[in-house]
Amino acid sequence: MRHLALLSRLARPADTKIVLLVLDGLGDLATPAQPRTALEAAATPHLDALAGRASLGRILPVATGVTPGSGPGHLALFGYDPAAPENDIGRGVLEALGLGLVLAPTDVTARGNFATADAAGNLVDRRAGRIPTAACERVCARINAALAGFDGGRVEVVPGEAHRFVLWLRGDGLSAAVDDTDPQALGVPPQAARETAPDGAATAALVRRAVAVMEQAIADEPQANRVLLRGFSRLPDLPQMDELYKLRLGAFAGYPLYRGVASACGMEVVPCGKRIGEILDTVAARWSDFDYFFLHVKQTDQAGEDGDLATKTAVIEEVDRELPRLLALGSDVLAITGDHSTPAPMKAHSFHPVPLLLAAEIAFADGARRFTERTAATGHLGTFPSRDLMGLLLAHAGRLEKYGA
């Protein structure tokens, strides 16, 4: 908080624009088996030219060796300490944001799994045979019909992928101090919801009664006949970026999770498409409305998760082709980086530092010929925590007062 307090104290309005282009999971690996990273393999003439007059460096999302989820990865890019408990985005909230739910600060959500129990009520499959998404939607509809008259209609389930759903509790007086009901074991029944602190007692009781209604409604389902709940949580009470930094902030992301995180931080979410070209169309149309533009490209991460270096490379080349259009908008500061690395050889998020390019009139020109993990490792910006990026963007945009006389 002291870090944010210092930035907030120094932040001043200015007539400058900042663009943060996040290529999700950008960082990749060079190994004997994969000698070139996606950034190295991609043909990127426009990025190459930009690199010559930009500063390069690397960011560490959470801490050395720590692999971030998407929530912490983005919170850090926005200046928050992702390891601070008060900034934690719970699993239920993250799942809800990913489904595009618009949560009130008082709402409580949990991540749900459908599960299969035998006649004695003991679990035999904690994922209900990974039922198809269509089946999940059908079962959720049965549950919501049964919950329609329950507790003033404040309880609802929202279907996700396969056996996953979100339990959504609305209204006043709720608490997230409720323990998981998933016993994480077979041959035993689900656990009854219990409070983890005294102020969770009423909500835990509400959840127990709701689960009874839900499970009665699906008792005849051959697979999805029980519910397991985890990660009861509410939106963290984050200091809002517009007040912190004296910026008008717009989020341009094609996927709900990133819109949700941006919204929770105080950005205005602007509906847009999923590919960089569609995103830039929307950014251009709203250019005069914001000082700070968060652009999120998801496909780099998806390709990394698939272990598909060729597709990850192609996505970077697609971004490079659109880069002149982004540059033509004339931002004062442009940063290109990722929320974390998703190396293709790992098919997963990783802890590796993330390459960063920062272009601005007062950026020290590294003179690099390319923007890659290797050139970034020796760039002028060095390697630093992701949460310091926000201060660097503001500084390059002339939006921070001098500290002390």
Instruction: Point out which residues bind a second copy (CB under 8 A).
Output: 2-3, 6-7, 10, 29-32, 35, 53, 58, 62-72, 82-83, 88-89, 91, 94-95, 231, 343, 345-346, 348-353, 361-365, 367, 373-374, 377-380, 382-384, 388, 390-396, 400-405
- Closest CB to a second copy among residues 239, 382: 382
- Closest CB to a second copy among residues 283, 400: 400
- Closest CB to a second copy among residues 287, 384: 384
Q: Please state, as a whole number, how many other Cβ atoms lie within 10 Å of the Cβ of residue 213.
A: 15
Q: How far is the CB of 173 from a second copy (least distance, A)?
A: 26
Task: Tell me the residue type at 245.
Answer: Y
- Closest CB to a second copy among residues 262, 279: 262
Q: What are the distances in angstroms from CA 148 to CA 135, 143, 152, 240, 363?
A: 20, 9, 8, 35, 58
Beta-strand ranges (E) seen in 224-285 are 226-233, 249-253, 268-269
29 phi and psi, to 5 degrees? -115, 145
Q: How far is the CB of 366 from a second copy (least distance, A)?
A: 8
- Closest CB to a second copy among residues 254, 353: 353
Q: How far is the CB of 201 from a second copy (least distance, A)?
A: 27
Q: How far is the CB of 255 from a second copy (least distance, A)?
A: 14
Distance CA 118, CA 310 (A): 46
- Token output for 236: 């963290």
Q: How far is the CB of 359 from a second copy (least distance, A)?
A: 11
- Closest CB to a second copy among residues 270, 346: 346
Distance CA 336, CA 363 (A): 14
Q: How far is the CB of 324 from a second copy (least distance, A)?
A: 17
Reduced to 3 states, what is the DSSP secondary structure of residue 362?
A: coil
Instruction: Give residue for tokens 């192609």.
Output: 314
Distance CA 21, CA 357 (A): 10
- Closest CB to a second copy among residues 126, 396: 396
Q: How far is the CB of 118 from a second copy (least distance, A)?
A: 30
* Spatial contact of 253 and 98, defined as CB atoms under 8 Å apart: no
Return the closest-CA partner of residue 82 out of 340, 257, 297: 340
Beta-strand ranges (E) seen in 95-225 are 108-117, 123-125, 155-159, 164-169
Q: How far is the CB of 209 from a second copy (least distance, A)?
A: 28
- Token output for 327: 């540059």
- Closest CB to a second copy among residues 122, 383: 383
Residue 65 CB burial class (10 angstroms; 0-12, 13-18, ≥19): exposed
Q: How far is the CB of 223 from a second copy (least distance, A)?
A: 25
> Which positions ≥6 away from 219 have C-beta within 8 Å?
225
Q: How far is the CB of 263 from a second copy (least distance, A)?
A: 17
* Spatial contact of 397 and 389, defined as CB atoms under 8 Å apart: no
* Spatial contact of 345 and 29, defined as CB atoms under 8 Å apart: yes
- Closest CB to a second copy among residues 63, 212: 63
- Closest CB to a second copy among residues 26, 147: 26
